[in-house]
Amino acid sequence: MQFTVTDQGDGIAVVHIMGRLNMVTAPRLREVVAASVAAGQNRVAVDLSDVDFIDSSGLGALIGGLKVTRQAGGDLRIAAPNEQVRLVLQLTNMERVLTAYPAASSAFHG
């Protein structure tokens, strides 16, 4: 599991995650989003294009990040989920809360 954070300017951070987002790695996502918000980037785009698996712990970390960003006046958006991630979002009725954008780089533009 690897996290890469890119400052896109305009208060936007892109968090790229590689690997599985599960009970082992979810706490790290919470830390990364909290650090971005603390650094003034309260609009966070989570790039899921290289996430091959998510469970409810990972989903909980995304929802936690959504709340932290919104409390700071921003938002958290997800991008490029694979079929397994989309299935988990669908079965947990989270598709409307965590809308998937085609690409993280454009999640807050256009």
Partner 1 sequence: MVSVSAHTLTLVSPPDDVDTVHALLETVWADAAHVSPRDRFSFETALIELASNVLCHGNTGSGVTCALRLEVSAVSIDARLSDTGGTVVELLAASADPASDGAVDSREMPDALSESGRGIALIQALVDELEYTRDGDVNRWHIVRTLRS
Q: CB under 8 Å to 62, separation ≥6 — which residues? A: 21, 29, 46, 76, 78, 98
The HSE-up count of residue 35 (CA atoms within 13 Å, CB side) is 13
Question: In the bound complex, what is the minimum distance in angstroms from residue 97's beta carbon to partner 1?
Answer: 5
Given a contact cutoff of 8 angstroms between Cβ atoms, the answer to whether 98 and 89 are in contact is: yes
Number of amino acids touching partner 1 (CB under 8 A): 24
Give the separation between CA 103 and CA 28, rounded to whole angstroms.
22
Question: In the bound complex, what is the minimum distance in angstroms from residue 38's beta carbon to partner 1?
Answer: 19
* Residues numbered 19-78 forming contacts with partner 1, rule: CB under 8 A: 20, 22-24, 53, 55-57, 59-61, 63-64, 66-67
In the complex, the residues that contact partner 1 under the rule CB under 8 A are 20, 22-24, 53, 55-57, 59-61, 63-64, 66-67, 83-84, 87-88, 91-94, 97
